[in-house]
């Protein structure tokens, strides 16, 4: 049985952010229609909590594909030569269960996560939102900047990082690429004050964004935390905003940004307004006024990886990319 290997640089070449935004909108629409299977991820947490080995399986009926992402997450690996997210997406066809492709997960995760935030921004941010704050300076910060430029008329960008040198490097590189004012600022508050679009992309376990800093009408994409014991937003930020999620079940089990305020008694489950796919289908209303503050809490779903993996597999075959290898899977009757 032949299996197609798609490496990190090939993922980057084959999966544009623009194409991925459309793919993610389709995936979340399918989720809201009940056309996918997306069980909760399973994780093996190391004893010292330095890292997690995660397993994320999913199935999409509309494309006849199932898959699983197996990935290690080491959030504090900012100074190392390796990405904080490393692993593979395994893509299977759902008719006979054949393994079709093994795809680098670091790049898939980076692109699809920012693309989902772009979908949420299209529906939840004000149409004129153009003052962007980015908290964090790693891979997701770079990808979110790219994605936000595709969905809103960004005029100014302020970036903050716990390591000031990283923020300065980020700002200089991004300013050259996008030819826009991009400024590294010394504090998270300096980045957030006055911003109408905010992306939190940190590995923080304690809040780095405070509700007192938020301007009415702002939209926040909160993507950095995906475990119940860590959060990027403080309780006030959650309480004073309308909260939307990628998947309600996942949020109730994994979203520290929601679970910790609930444990404090500040909110209950009704504070979750709904899922992104429900907005796309028109089942619930997204932004209702220019003055309200909205939050999209992204945890990352397996169907995002399956949708991106299926697209990458087709693109690689069409363009002659990737490397074919032979694995087992065929029955031997001797």
pLDDT digits (tens, 9 = 90+) for 125-155: 999 999 999 999 999 999 999 999 999 999 9
Q: Are residues 146 and 35 in the same domain?
A: no
The reported pLDDT for the residue numbered 50 is: 85
Q: Are residues 81 and 163 in the same domain?
A: no
Note whether residue 8 is domain-resident.
yes
Note whether residue 331 is domain-resident.
no
What pTM did the predictor assign?
Answer: 0.94
Residue 10's CATH number: 3.30.1780.10
* Axis crossing angle, helix 139-151 with helix 105-124, rounded to the nearest 10: 40
Structure tokens belonging to residue 94? 């759902």
Q: Are residues 18 and 103 in the same domain?
A: yes
Q: Confirm if 229 and 304 have CB atoms less than 8 A apart.
A: no
In the predicted structure, residue 289 carries a pLDDT above the cut 70: yes
Residue 313 to residue 91: CA distance in whole angstroms: 8
Q: Are residues 259 and 311 in the same domain?
A: no
Note whether residue 169 is domain-resident.
yes
How many domains would you assign to the chain?
Answer: 2
Confidence of residue 80 (pLDDT cuts 50, 70, 90): low
Note whether residue 333 is domain-resident.
no
Q: Are residues 308 and 182 in the same domain?
A: no
Residue 147's CATH number: 3.40.50.720
Q: Are residues 310 and 220 in the same domain?
A: no
Note whether residue 56 is domain-resident.
yes
Note whether residue 127 is domain-resident.
yes
Note whether residue 283 is domain-resident.
yes
Note whether residue 332 is domain-resident.
no
Q: Are residues 144 and 285 in the same domain?
A: yes
Q: Are residues 292 and 308 in the same domain?
A: no
How far is CA 264 from each of CA 74, 225, 235, 279, rounded to the nearest angstrom? 28, 18, 9, 28
Q: Are residues 123 and 249 in the same domain?
A: yes
321 by Cβ neighbours in 10 Å (0-12 / 13-18 / 19+) ranks as middle
Structure tokens belonging to residue 25? 């909108």
Q: Are residues 69 and 159 in the same domain?
A: no
What pLDDT, in 10s, does the model give residues 204-259?
999 999 999 999 999 999 999 888 999 999 999 999 999 999 999 999 999 999 99
Confidence of residue 263 (pLDDT cuts 50, 70, 90): very high
Q: Are residues 140 and 289 in the same domain?
A: yes
Domain containing 205: what range? 114-297
> CA-CA-CA-CA torsion for 279, 285, 290, 296, nearest 10 degrees?
-40
Which runs of consecutive H residues, i.e. helices, occur in the chain? 8-14, 17-32, 105-124, 139-151, 164-178, 188-192, 235-239, 248-254, 256-263, 276-280, 302-319
């Amino acid at each position: 049985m032949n299996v197609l290997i798609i490496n990190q640089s090939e993922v980057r070449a084959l999966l544009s952010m623009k194409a991925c935004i459309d793919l993610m909108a389709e995936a979340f629409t399918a989720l809201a229609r009940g056309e996918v299977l997306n069980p909760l991820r399973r994780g093996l947490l190391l004893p010292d909590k330095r890292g997690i080995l995660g397993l994320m399986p999913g199935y999409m009926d509309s494309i006849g594909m199932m898959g699983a992402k197996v990935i290690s997450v080491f959030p504090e690996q900012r100074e190392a030569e390796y990405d904080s997210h490393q692993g593979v997406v395994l893509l299977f066809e759902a008719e006979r269960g054949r393994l079709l492709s093994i795809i680098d997960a670091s790049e898939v995760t980076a692109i699809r996560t920012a693309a989902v935030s772009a979908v949420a921004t299209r529906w939840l941010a004000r149409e004129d939102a153009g003052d962007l704050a980015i908290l964090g300076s790693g891979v997701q910060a770079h990808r979110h900047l790219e994605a936000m430029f595709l969905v809103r008329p960004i005029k100014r960008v302020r970036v903050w990082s716990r390591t000031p040198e990283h923020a300065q490097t980020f700002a200089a590189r991004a300013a050259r690429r996008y030819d826009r004012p991009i400024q590294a600022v010394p504090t998270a508050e300096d980045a957030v004050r006055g911003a109408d679009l905010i992306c939190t992309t940190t590995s923080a376990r304690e809040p780095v964004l405070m509700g007192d800093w938020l301007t009415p009408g702002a939209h926040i994409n909160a993507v950095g935390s995906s475990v119940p014991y860590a959060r990027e937003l403080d309780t006030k930020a959650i309480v004073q905003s309308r909260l939307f999620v990628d998947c309600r079940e996942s949020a109730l089990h994994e979203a520290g940004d929601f679970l910790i305020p609930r444990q404090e008694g500040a909110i209950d489950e009704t504070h979750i307004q709904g899922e992104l796919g429900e907005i796309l289908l028109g089942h619930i209303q997204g932004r209702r006024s220019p003055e309200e503050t909205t939050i999209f809490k992204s945890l990352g779903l397996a169907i995002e990886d399956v949708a991106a993996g299926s697209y990458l597999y087709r693109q690689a075959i069409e363009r002659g990319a990737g490397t074919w290898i032979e694995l087992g899977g065929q029955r031997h009757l001797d």
